Structure 1
């Protein structure tokens, strides 16, 4: 309030100064103009471009920014033009004092509040341009007093109420724009009196009722836009008799009935989409020789189509979402439409085969859509000649056969949609030429064989969907390297094999990933943790094993996770309850242990856990058995007892070893005739079996390299998908064969809980005729003791975060090792020396039980001596 008083006083004082010191140039009109302009400035809150900086006391107002004075009468302001200045504020009622104004342009700003009633005082006003602001309230009725108005544009504001009846007095009005407001009621009958109207725009207003047939009296009308309202009823045929009409836009209403079009030689745009119009598309349209846009989608048109070959200016043609029943061969008639850019025939009853002549349609065509029809046959090879295409959709038809390689010539394509047909054979490698593609949808077809690596050249892909086909082989690393894929990647319902490529971590912006219903195996890769934009992740119905990786805890925006129908083991990690998951499916796995109680696990309907028989605890609603409650106390007790019993156990063990050494009887000479350990207990595994288990000794499965060979992780196809470690001897290295024999000899008749269990051996010939020797061990989930002792905070191949071992864990591991060595020395018929006992040869099971492995340097000293 105080600021307003100061501004008004300043205006009055400065006005007096003008009257005293400038009697010649400052008439009372000048004072009025000056006061009004300063009031306009005072009502502005934000002026980012400094448009009002020149509006000051030192500059004559006719020289101010945005002000234009009459040439014949220099002191009379005839125009205010402040368009696109970013102004925020109110429009002062003092604008009504500028009585000589003819033009007022304030469009593209942020004026708000009411349009002041004082504007009606501007009797000379011819142009009022207030579009794209935030004016609210009703349209001033007394605007009708501005009888010289020719141009009135209030489009894109927040005006409400009805169209004033008083507008019928604006006889000179040629352009009326009230669209994109919040008006109500019907189209005012007053408009029928505006016989000078050339342009009428009432779109996006919320108007109701019928289109008054009295609009036919506007015989000068060229542009009529009633789009996006709630208009009902039919379009009276007399409206189509306005011979001057160039553009007729009444889309997105609830209009019904047929179209009674006569010959409209000047018609350029007819946009009737999203109504309830019916009947046949008028034949007379084929004679509208000036027609550029014909848009009739989402109606109830039926029957066949006229041939539009004579419409040489036609650019946009859409009859989508109707019930047009015709042969697709009619597109041959469009060959003469050399300016055609968009052709949309989708969602109709079109049938037949796409004619070869489609290759001769306009080279300017950039969008072609024939989806959801009954078109059959093959894609004409000549379609590759439509090099201007940026959008091509032939989805949901009965097309078959291989896709012609010529599609790869459409290098401007950004969207390619071939969904739901019967295409077969491989995906053409020429698709790799489509480097501008954003969307590639080939799902629900019969594509087979491997995915071409050339798709890795499509470096602008946002969406890739190859689901529901018969694709096989490994998932190409080249696809996973496409960091541009940020919306969706769907490879589900195929027969992909092998591991998820490590390169999946390149998809850092991906929101949706679906690899379900394949034959993917191995561990869920830790690199998935780099995809921290994932919202939906589906890996169900594959052959994944191992534990759920802790590193997936970085997927903080994940909402839907499906890991069901795999071979996952271990416990459910707590971090899943800390994510913002809305749905989690872990059913049909081998998970065990206590179910968390946080986050998604609090909602019974959001989690599926069926067929994980060793789960326990969780919320009572999950109906799981309680977890054993005495474990912790037993562990504490056993930990305490070990400190007291270790010395006793050690002494007792030494006594037992001495007793066995002195009194054990000589081994039976017939022992060698008994069936060997290998013959009775080892699995029968061929070279081909463990080639498959290790994905052909893939580097991604390499978990260690020793003196005499390499160790690979793998999954045996034994019905239980056993996770194993395969050690392959490098027979080129001297001593490797001897090491293999030492292992076989040492392991022949020994078995102990603290020794790495050997599941099988293989001595065979590979596919190139070379000798192969290998041992298959039981996989140990927590890796080697070396990693736990010397590689803190690193991640081993078992996806377990390596941490510092506490004292109790170290003691337990030492006891396990001692028991294994005691067994070597005096627990068998043979006296065995390991010869290479070190942390890297001590492996830890899922419960941190230590097992001694790698018997490459083991030696059998002798049999136990007789007493």
Structure 2
């Protein structure tokens, strides 16, 4: 180097070290290319609430920008990590200029538009995660040029079309996530060429081809390819749930020896499961729930025997199918690691095998909604790690075994809807972690054990309804201070309601109806201010306490008791739909009456007006003979004298809460009861009203025993109910026609009606006038 410098004319000074940079010129150019590409990407980000890309400016070098990482040697961008940044925008084509990019993480944002083909220029790219965004269009075939990809995640977007066959060259791909999109065309067989795949997530796609009725939005059924299992010789996680796959479960899946998790739930698979799972030694989770597996043979659950060889199995979900067979004893041979087992919502019959007690590490056992008979096996007491046991809605009989008290970790116990008899075992009192207990709809008898009512953890629900329990309600019931629901209805309990119920602080639902309780509502109940549903029907006597007015009740049932005195008039008692007091014949007063409150419209006639009496008689005569959904319903009429001995006549109609059509057509702040004053009828509502009126007129013209002409049809006589259904009212000028055709009488009808019958410019009135005179 010194010789060359000397020959070039540079003097050599002693002690001076000349440092020459060896950075290639093209690296400097590449740095600028990366910087400009990043700035272009920033311009496409339209919203950035947390300020993720605020640092992307000229104040900092780009390898100091947030979410950007560069290589140590060449200072080129290798990673862009903007995941979970609340970003909104789209991709810039300049992203294809980041030629050294290894990872692009944009997942969990709100990027829109298409996945750009320019990403295919990134031949060094190893990880592409665009999941949980709003990308649309098809998966670009150009991604096949990213031959180093090991991770491709585009799940949870709005992608359409088929998975492109051009991506076959991605031989290094380990993870493929295409779930929660709108992909069609099935899982193509060429995916089997991606031999490095360990995990595929393809759930929730309509993989079937569109049917010939595409506007219905349905997809035809889809069979997995026959050689599906051989496509993936080394998969560890296979998720196909939430699609519309049909046909039998492919046998070759049993050859995927490295499979750890297998999920085909929420599909349309059917038939008998004949797979031998015994070779899947690594299998930990299997989900075949919510399909249509069934063939009607007693041994259709025999495949459970082969799962006994899966010594690492932890979770087995097979609920929501149509299995109709006997649960084999081999279920007790399943893995000692099994902690989750559910085969609920099937049609499994026979007895529960006693071998179930071998699964000593079970934390959850769901067997509800089946056809199990016989007794609950005492061996269930061996499942001392059990936290949830659901055997409800079967046909179980016999007694609840005392051994159930051994389940000290139990939090939820559901045995409702069976034929269980005998007493409630006091051993349940040892289940000190119990949150919810359902024993309703059985044949249980005897008294409620105090030990049960001293389980202080019971905070969700205690439901003992519809049994044969008798005796008094123990005062210990007050120990359940944190309970949200207590239902002991439809039993034979007697005595007074204990005042200790007033100690409840979280109670929302209290059902005591249809027992033999005596006395009145205890005053201590005044503290139950948080209660929403309170049912005391068919029990008590005394007066209705006024403190109930202060409760924020949604439902209060006091019916068929022997209450007396006045009905309170505030709070929930102002809402007839929320309160029932029927069957209490010694009550009086109150806003709520004993057949339920209703709102009516009362029309009092001014008898000083000419023709008022005649109009009253005509309307009574007319409405007495007609019934139609589009006619105003008359409830009753009144013809008497008032307190001053003057004639009094009135008609009581069903109330129409949306007022008259006149008010809607010419609304002002003082019309329509002050409601809807700024809203006009839309076209569909106008058409529906016209149809309703036409139906009413067709009825009175053609379907009555004697044809009737309204003679005063106008918007003010057309009333609208809660659902904006039109009802024709006021038949004071109605005319009955003899058994003659309208054609012969039309010449003598003339024009009748009140003022405003044909208001100038009112198209509705003109139309209705035409209907009334000429329609028939």
TM range (shorter): 0.5 to 0.7
Encode CA deviations 1:156-209: one digit per residue, 9 max, x unaligned. 544243246474465346256454544253337595486346143221233333
Aligned residue runs from structure 1 range 435-474, under 5 A: 435-454=432-451, 455-474=453-472
**Structure 2 counterpart of 1:740:** none
Q: 1:87 to 1:470 in 2, by over 3 A?
A: same
C-alpha contact (below 8 Å) 2:105/2:128 kept by paired residues: yes
C-alpha contact (below 8 Å) 2:392/2:416 kept by paired residues: yes
C-alpha contact (below 8 Å) 2:207/2:244 kept by paired residues: no
Q: CA deviation at 1:279?
A: 3.2
Larger displacement relative to structure 2 (387-396 or 191-200): 191-200
Q: From 378, 381, 387, give the equivalent of 2:378.
A: 381
Larger displacement relative to structure 2 (386-395 or 468-477): 468-477
Q: 1:349 to 1:185 in 2, by over 3 A?
A: closer
Partner SS for 1:492? coil
Separation in 2 of the partners of 1:72 and 1:284?
54
**Structure 2 counterpart of 1:264:** 255
Q: 1:489 to 1:183 in 2, by over 3 A?
A: same
Partner SS for 1:396? coil
Separation in 1 of the partners of 2:165 and 2:269?
33
Aligned residue runs from structure 1 range 27-176, under 5 A: 27-41=28-42, 44=45, 51-52=52-53, 54-74=55-75, 76-87=76-87, 90-112=90-112, 115=115, 118-132=118-132, 134-139=133-138, 141=140, 143-144=142-143, 146-148=145-147, 150-151=149-150, 153-163=152-162, 165=164, 167-168=166-167, 171-172=170-171, 174-175=173-174
Q: Determine if the alignment matches structure 1 residue 498 to structure 2 residue 495.
A: yes
Aligned residue runs from structure 1 range 645-724, under 5 A: none
Separation in 2 of the partners of 1:252 and 1:62?
43
C-alpha contact (below 8 Å) 1:147/1:169 kept by paired residues: no
Separation in 2 of the partners of 1:582 and 1:33?
69
Q: From 589, 597, 600, give the equivalent of 1:601.
A: 597
Q: CA deviation at 1:40?
A: 4.1
C-alpha contact (below 8 Å) 2:113/2:137 kept by paired residues: no
Separation in 2 of the partners of 1:188 and 1:337?
32
Q: 1:190 to 1:582 in 2, by over 3 A?
A: farther
Q: 1:477 to 1:104 in 2, by over 3 A?
A: farther
Computing the radius of gyration from Cα coordinates, the structure with the larger value is 1
Q: 1:30 to 1:288 in 2, by over 3 A?
A: closer
Separation in 1 of the partners of 2:563 and 2:638?
20
**Structure 1 counterpart of 2:662:** none
Which segments of 5 or more consecutive residues in structure 2 lack a partner in the other structure? 1-22, 212-217, 601-632, 644-776
* CA-atom RMSD in angstroms: 4.1
Aligned residue runs from structure 1 range 237-276, under 5 A: 237-242=226-231, 243-262=233-252, 263-264=254-255, 266=257, 267-276=259-268
**Structure 1 counterpart of 2:221:** 232
Encode CA deviations 1:265-323: one digit per residue, 9 max, x unaligned. 51444433444443332152345444333333342423213223323222223443445
Separation in 2 of the partners of 1:169 and 1:255?
23
Q: 1:255 to 1:79 in 2, by over 3 A?
A: closer
Aligned residue runs from structure 1 range 754-793, under 5 A: none
Q: 1:179 to 1:141 in 2, by over 3 A?
A: closer
Q: CA deviation at 1:146?
A: 4.3
Encode CA deviations 1:335-373: one digit per residue, 9 max, x unaligned. 3521222222334454444444433x2321111233344
Q: Determine if the alignment matches structure 1 residue 566 to structure 2 residue 556.
A: no
Separation in 1 of the partners of 2:42 and 2:475?
63
Partner SS for 2:416? coil
Which segments of 5 or more consecutive residues in structure 1 lack a partner in the other structure? 1-21, 212-228, 605-619, 631-867
Larger displacement relative to structure 2 (460-469 or 527-536): 527-536
Q: CA deviation at 1:468?
A: 0.8
Q: From 334, 343, 346, give the equivalent of 1:345.
A: 343
Q: CA deviation at 1:441?
A: 0.7
Separation in 2 of the partners of 1:592 and 1:285?
72
Separation in 2 of the partners of 1:246 and 1:584?
59
Separation in 1 of the partners of 2:638 and 2:506?
41
Q: CA deviation at 1:83?
A: 2.9
Partner SS for 2:104? strand
Q: 1:30 to 1:383 in 2, by over 3 A?
A: same
Q: CA deviation at 1:515?
A: 1.6
Separation in 2 of the partners of 1:144 and 1:289?
36
C-alpha contact (below 8 Å) 1:179/1:204 kept by paired residues: no
C-alpha contact (below 8 Å) 1:463/1:489 kept by paired residues: yes
Partner SS for 2:466? coil
C-alpha contact (below 8 Å) 1:171/1:196 kept by paired residues: no
**Structure 2 counterpart of 1:363:** 360
Q: CA deviation at 1:237?
A: 3.2
Partner SS for 1:383? helix
Partner SS for 2:482? coil
Separation in 1 of the partners of 2:178 and 2:249?
25
Q: CA deviation at 1:482?
A: 2.7
Separation in 2 of the partners of 1:313 and 1:68?
41
Q: CA deviation at 1:390?
A: 0.9
Q: CA deviation at 1:466?
A: 0.6
Separation in 2 of the partners of 1:102 and 1:492?
66
**Structure 2 counterpart of 1:660:** none
Q: 1:624 to 1:317 in 2, by over 3 A?
A: farther
Q: 1:179 to 1:551 in 2, by over 3 A?
A: farther
Separation in 2 of the partners of 1:625 and 1:496?
48
Separation in 2 of the partners of 1:182 and 1:327?
39
Separation in 2 of the partners of 1:531 and 1:621?
43
Greater than 6 Å deviation, 4+ residue runs: 22-26, 577-581, 620-626
Q: Determine if the alignment matches structure 1 residue 552 to structure 2 residue 553.
A: no
Separation in 1 of the partners of 2:90 and 2:504?
49
Q: 1:91 to 1:474 in 2, by over 3 A?
A: farther
Encode CA deviations 1:512-538: one digit per residue, 9 max, x unaligned. 332211122333345556545544332
C-alpha contact (below 8 Å) 2:207/2:222 kept by paired residues: no
**Structure 1 counterpart of 2:482:** 484
TM-score by length of 2: 0.64
Separation in 2 of the partners of 1:241 and 1:410?
44
Q: From 267, 271, 296, give the equivalent of 2:288.
A: 296
C-alpha contact (below 8 Å) 1:503/1:527 kept by paired residues: yes
Separation in 1 of the partners of 2:165 and 2:264?
30
**Structure 2 counterpart of 1:418:** 415
Encode CA deviations 1:768-806: one digit per residue, 9 max, x unaligned. xxxxxxxxxxxxxxxxxxxxxxxxxxxxxxxxxxxxxxx
Q: Determine if the alignment matches structure 1 residue 392 to structure 2 residue 389.
A: yes
C-alpha contact (below 8 Å) 1:141/1:166 kept by paired residues: no
Partner SS for 2:276? helix
TM-score by length of 1: 0.58
Q: CA deviation at 1:331?
A: 3.2
C-alpha contact (below 8 Å) 2:332/2:355 kept by paired residues: no
Q: CA deviation at 1:236?
A: 4.0
Q: CA deviation at 1:73?
A: 1.4
Q: 1:482 to 1:46 in 2, by over 3 A?
A: farther
Residues paired across the two proteins, number: 570
Partner SS for 1:601? coil
C-alpha contact (below 8 Å) 2:384/2:408 kept by paired residues: yes
